[in-house]
């Protein structure tokens, strides 16, 4: 490799933690690269199979915020079934009973494909939301095991929530295994298309979107959705959020 190419690749690699290039010759993979890949692959697998401690989340929400979160589960009976049957993760367990709460916003914390992300970031994000978003301050909170994004639609329909915000662990990768996503849906009901949601993703502490920045962006989307009465492809995210700075609300 000539020096100019090496310098350009070095500059590119300095901009991202992702694997930009491995040596393209026929030699064996350097040991450090192999070990790094194996370590990151193991972290991604661990993130998927780490069980969600819903009782611990419920306890923290109660002790810190005086929020009485309700623990629920999907129809997937265990992690193996959850991974093989995505449809079951979108439906609440058949015996689920929810009290009707006509709230402007309901918050759902679900394990998704990275329970580690939900355990690590959801409480801090809820705290940031409650600090900047008035609707989040009184929003009922539900913690769901073996849940997919659409589980929020069932909860919203059963409770009568105007909007539902699902905080869920995103699919882990070889760079970040604990990234959290936030999905906002107006008038949630079973069968809602994914195109009817807005998503704020890549929320984590390792170079991702900070809790404050994510909360500011979600707050803007909540306020905008209340104004236009829909979410999804028709609601463009024009939130004035850059980096880790919080900005004023939508006028």
Q: Which two tokens stand for residue 100?
A: 């009707």
Q: Are 230 and 197 in contact (CB under 8 A)?
A: no
pLDDT per residue as tens digits for the range 153-188: 999 999 999 999 999 999 999 889 999 999 999 999
Q: Which of 55, 51, 198, 64 is nearest to 126 (CA)?
A: 64
Domain assignment present for residue 233? The answer is no
What is the pLDDT, as a whole number, of residue 24? 61
* Rounded alpha-carbon distances, angstroms, from residue 76 to 16, 92, 161: 36, 9, 24
What is the pLDDT, as a whole number, of residue 18? 76
- Domain of residue 188: give its range: 53-228
* Rounded alpha-carbon distances, angstroms, from residue 164 to 54, 103, 121, 177, 178: 19, 9, 18, 25, 22
Domain assignment present for residue 32? The answer is no
Domain assignment present for residue 222? The answer is yes
CA distance 72 to 242: 35
What is the pLDDT, as a whole number, of residue 244? 41
Number of domains the chain contains:
1
Domain assignment present for residue 160? The answer is yes
CA distance 169 to 62: 21
- Report phi then psi at 109, rounded to 5: -105, 120
CA distance 194 to 241: 24
**Would the pTM count as exceeding 0.85?**
yes
Angle value at C-alpha 127, between 129 and 78, nearest 5 degrees: 100
Average pLDDT along the chain: 90
Domain assignment present for residue 154? The answer is yes
**What CATH code is carried by the domain that includes residue 78?**
3.40.50.11240
Domain assignment present for residue 237? The answer is no
244 contacts: CB under 8 Å, gap ≥ 6: 209, 210, 212, 213
Domain assignment present for residue 71? The answer is yes
CA distance 125 to 213: 10
Domain assignment present for residue 208? The answer is yes
Residue ranges in the chain modelled with pLDDT below 70: 1, 21-26, 241-251
pLDDT per residue as tens digits for the range 217-226: 999 999 999 9
Q: Count Cβ atoms within 10 A of the Cβ of residue 3 and give its class: 0-12 exposed, 13-18 middle, 19 or more buried.
A: exposed
- CA 223 from centre of chain: 20
Q: Are 172 and 44 in contact (CB under 8 A)?
A: yes
């Amino acid at each position: 490799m000539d020096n100019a190419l090496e310098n350009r690749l070095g500059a590119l690699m300095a901009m991202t933690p992702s694997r930009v290039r491995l040596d393209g010759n026929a030699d064996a993979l350097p040991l450090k690269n192999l070990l790094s890949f194996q370590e990151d692959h193991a972290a991604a697998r661990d993130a998927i199979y780490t069980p969600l401690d819903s009782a611990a989340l419920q306890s923290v929400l109660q002790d810190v915020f005086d929020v009485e979160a309700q623990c629920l589960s999907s129809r997937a009976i265990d992690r193996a079934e959850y991974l093989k049957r995505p449809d079951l993760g979108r439906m609440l367990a058949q015996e689920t009973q929810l009290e009707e709460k006509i709230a402007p916003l309901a918050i759902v914390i679900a394990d998704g494909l990275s329970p580690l992300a939900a355990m690590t970031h959801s409480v801090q994000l809820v705290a940031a939301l409650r600090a900047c978003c008035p609707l989040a301050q009184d929003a009922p909170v539900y913690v769901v095991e073996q849940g997919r994004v659409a589980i929020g639609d069932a909860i919203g329909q059963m409770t009568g929530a105007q909007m539902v915000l699902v905080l869920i662990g995103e699919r882990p990768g070889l760079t970040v295994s604990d990234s959290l996503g936030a999905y906002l849906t107006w008038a949630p009901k079973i069968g809602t298309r994914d195109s009817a949601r807005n998503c704020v993703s890549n929320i984590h502490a390792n170079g991702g979107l900070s809790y404050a920045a994510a909360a500011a962006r979600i707050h803007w989307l909540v306020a905008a959705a209340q104004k236009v009465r829909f979410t999804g492809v028709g609601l463009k995210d024009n939130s004035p959020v850059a980096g880790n700075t919080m900005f004023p609300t939508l006028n």
